Homo-oligomer: A and B are copies of this chain.
Amino acid sequence: MPDHTILSPFAEPLRRALRARAADGAVPPLADVDPHATPGFDGDKADGKAALATRSEELTRLQELLFAQSTRADAAGPAPSVLLVVQAMDTAGKGGIMRHVVGAMDPQGVDVAAFKAPTQEERAHDFLWRIRPHLPEPGFLAVFDRSHYEDVLVHRVRGLSPLATVEERYGLIRAFEEEITAGGTRIVKVMLHISKEEQRERLEARLDEPEKHWKFNPGDVDERAHWDAYMDAYRIAMERTDTETAPWFVVPADRKWYARLAVQELLIETLQGLELTWPEADFDVEEQRRRLAAG
């Protein structure tokens, strides 16, 4: 059997184990989720790193299979695509996810978009205006490093928009994501969940190394004073925008190796769910062999 039959290192599908919405339909407070836990995974850090390397081959294969769909000429509609949304408090490990999980795939079929504070031009438009150009093309996997959710997270906590506007946006986001899904895009939304204490240690580590100073932003310390409000804003956002087709997952992230392994597996499960097959040749293979042999 080929390598890609290697099983998931997790005891159960992560789409179930890490889903933000509980079986009773509610999204529990983030205080109920232990950021240091490793749901579904039995091993330690060394096991986790080994599993990441092994499963990376499967993710790479599945992403190539997705990319191959873009060449289908016979498709009834556009080829499928995948959108991974990553949200988190600062230092929670978004960068590591980009390097170690996203970076392991073929850059030809993967687009990473980092959404920073909006420009003046972007602020002059609807909050989804700057998002649309970065949606995945058919066959592509797009990754959002922050996203349209900033407009209901920081905007809610810091009052950057009136509360009524924030409230309206949850519905606009649901409609937006429903539209994207209808167009053939599978959406996976991840919140990397770290503890406030772990964040302090990571920020201190950045101060300890001059080569990391450029990553430190004093504004990140300001935000710590609003930690509980952020956790609440995350819970509300997930409660209001988690749907069957655009689900939210809470990934414990105090252990970086676990968060990476979990996001990798969520991508694998999503790609497997597409049940893709390699496109068949739309040409005569033997005829092409003869033409090649002739010159």
Binding site for B on A (CB under 8 A): 68, 71-72, 95, 98-99, 102-108, 110, 112, 114, 143, 145, 200, 203-204, 207, 210-211, 213-216, 218, 221, 224-225, 278-281, 283, 285, 288-289, 291-292, 295
Contact = CB atoms under 8 A, between A and B. Distances in A.
Nearest to A69: B214
Main secondary structure of the interface of A (DSSP, over half): helix
Contact of A108 (B98, B104, B278): B98
Number of copies of this kind of chain in the complex: 2
Given A114-B108, A285-B207, A291-B221, A213 B280 contact: yes
A136 B112 CA distance: 14
Contacts of A283: 216, 218
A278 B221 contact: no
Contacts of A224: 292, 295
Given A283-B218, A288-B221, A292-B203, A108 B213 contact: no
B214 A279 contact: yes
A280 B95 CA distance: 21
Contacts of A292: 200, 203-204, 207, 221, 224
Contacts of A204: 289, 292
B281 A213 contact: yes
Nearest to A110: B107
Contact of A214 (B71, B106, B285, B289): B71
A137 to B, nearest CB: 10
A82 to B, nearest CB: 15
A109 to B, nearest CB: 9
Contact of A207 (B68, B103, B106, B288): B288
A215 B108 CA distance: 13
Contacts of A104: 103
B112 A102 contact: no
Contacts of A291: 218, 221
A99 B106 CA distance: 5
A289 B213 CA distance: 12
Contacts of A200: 292
Instruction: Return the 10 tightest CB-CB contacts between A and B, nearest first.
Output: A213-B281, A214-B279, A68-B214, A107-B112, A71-B214, A103-B107, A211-B278, A98-B108, A221-B291, A218-B283
A203 to B, nearest CB: 6
